[in-house]
Structure 1
Amino acid sequence: MGVLENKARARLFYKYLSKVYDRINPFIWNEEMRGEALEWLDLSRDDRVLDVGSGTGFGTEGLLGHVDHVYALDQSEHQMEKAIRKFGLHGSVSFHRGDAERLPFADDSFDAIWSSGSIEYWPNPVDALEEFRRVVKPGGKVLVVGPDYPRSQVMQRLADAIMLFYDEAEADRMFREAGFEEFEHHIQQARPGTPRAITTVARVPEK
């Protein structure tokens, strides 16, 4: 387990990263990649959508181009404070402090879940994906963006020491163990030589 796959350390990390996150993020996960992923999620304007690991609101901002209201959840108060300054407390975003592995919502509460740049910090990704399946209505979609496993052995050792990086085979395992039967993976990259993202779109099974 990587050093940041620990909730307390991840919160401390984001306390400081939140100050520069919006300047760093476009080099790894940019608007073009976000737009492509949103097309795969294929939302309707009145869909009830949860953004898990919403951070400073980059994914939330994209979602608001497709739906009228977004429910944003994050465990970092510092990241969330920046998002609240962007969107306000009483507008089109409802903010919730919480844990991806124990979502504070009832079964079948949402039409879709979006989660970008969060899975790499979850100590138990399958537990979180099971929670996603629980709170999304049957037939709804779950989209998860994480860091693709590096190709070089040097970068692999570095990645393993920091947080979760995973390939398509590992993504298959996690989603299957969480009870998903239908899913597809896409590799995205801001530009050649930059880190790659693995984006999985899964459909919640009918009960």
Structure 2
Amino acid sequence: MGVLENKARARTFYKYLSKVYDQINPFVWDERMRDEAIDMLGLEPDDTVVDIGCGTGFATEGLLEEVDTVYGLDQSPHQLSKAYQKFGKHGNVRFHLGDAERLPFKDDTFDVVWSSGSIEYWPNPVDALAECRRIAKPGGQVLIVGPDYPNSSVFQKVADAIMLFYDEDEADRMFREAGFTEFEHHIQQSRPGSPRAITTIAQVPE
């Protein structure tokens, strides 16, 4: 388990990262990549959407261009405080402080469950993916964006020591163990040589 797959350490990490997160994030996960992923979903304005690990609201902002309301959940109060500054506490985003492995939502609630840049901090990603499946409506979609495993053996060792990195084979295993049978992976990249993201869209059985 990587250093930041511990929830307490991850919260401390984001306490400080939240101050500069919006400046750093575009080097790894930029607006073009976010919007490409959103386009894969074919959203309708009245779709119910939740952003798990919403952070300061970067993905939430893009989702709000397509749907009327987004639910945002994060385990870091510091990240959420930045999101409050953008959206307010009582606007089109309904915020929740919570844990991806124990989501505070009822079964079959959302048309789309979105999570970008969060799975790498989940100590038990299969449990969290199963939770995403639980709260998605039958026939709905679950979209997860995580860091693709580096090609370099040196970077692989560094990556494994910090957080979860995974390739398509590992993604297959995690999604299957979480109860998904239908899903596809897309590799996204900000620019040549930059870290790659693995974006998975899973269909929830009807």
TM-score range, shorter chain: over 0.9
The alignment status of 1:38 with 2:38, answered yes or no, reads: yes
Cα distance per residue 1:155-188 (max 9 Å; x no partner): 0000000000000000000000000011000000
- Pairwise CA distance, 1:55: 0.0
1:26-175 equivalences under 5 Å are: 26-175=26-175
- Pairwise CA distance, 1:42: 1.4
> What's the counterpart of residue 23 of structure 2?
23
What SS does the aligned partner of 1:4 have?
A: helix
Cα distance per residue 1:39-60 (max 9 Å; x no partner): 1121110001000000000000
What SS does the aligned partner of 1:200 have?
A: strand
Instruction: Return 5+ residue gaps in structure 2 as ranges.
Output: none
What SS does the aligned partner of 2:200 have?
A: strand
Supply the distance in 1 between the matched residues of 2:14 and 2:122 (Cα, whole angstroms).
14
Name the count of aligned residue pairs: 206
CA RMSD of superposed structures (Å): 0.4
What SS does the aligned partner of 1:41 have?
A: coil
What SS does the aligned partner of 1:140 have?
A: strand
Q: Structure 2 counterpart of 1:48, which letter?
A: T
What SS does the aligned partner of 2:133 have?
A: helix
**TM-score computed with the length of structure 2 as normaliser:** 0.99
Instruction: Return 5+ residue gaps in structure 1 as ranges.
Output: none
Supply the distance in 2 between the matched residues of 1:108 and 1:49 (Cα, whole angstroms).
12
Cα distance per residue 1:80-126 (max 9 Å; x no partner): 00000000011100000000000001100111111000000000000
> What's the counterpart of residue 12 of structure 2?
12
Cα distance per residue 1:18-67 (max 9 Å; x no partner): 00000000110000000100011211100010000000000000000010
- Pairwise CA distance, 1:139: 0.6
Q: Structure 2 counterpart of 1:157, which letter?
A: K
Supply the distance in 1 between the matched residues of 2:78 and 2:169 (Cα, whole angstroms).
34
Q: Structure 1 counterpart of 2:193, which letter?
A: G
Moved over 6 A (4+): none
**TM-score computed with the length of structure 1 as normaliser:** 0.99
Q: Identity over aligned residues, as a percent?
A: 75
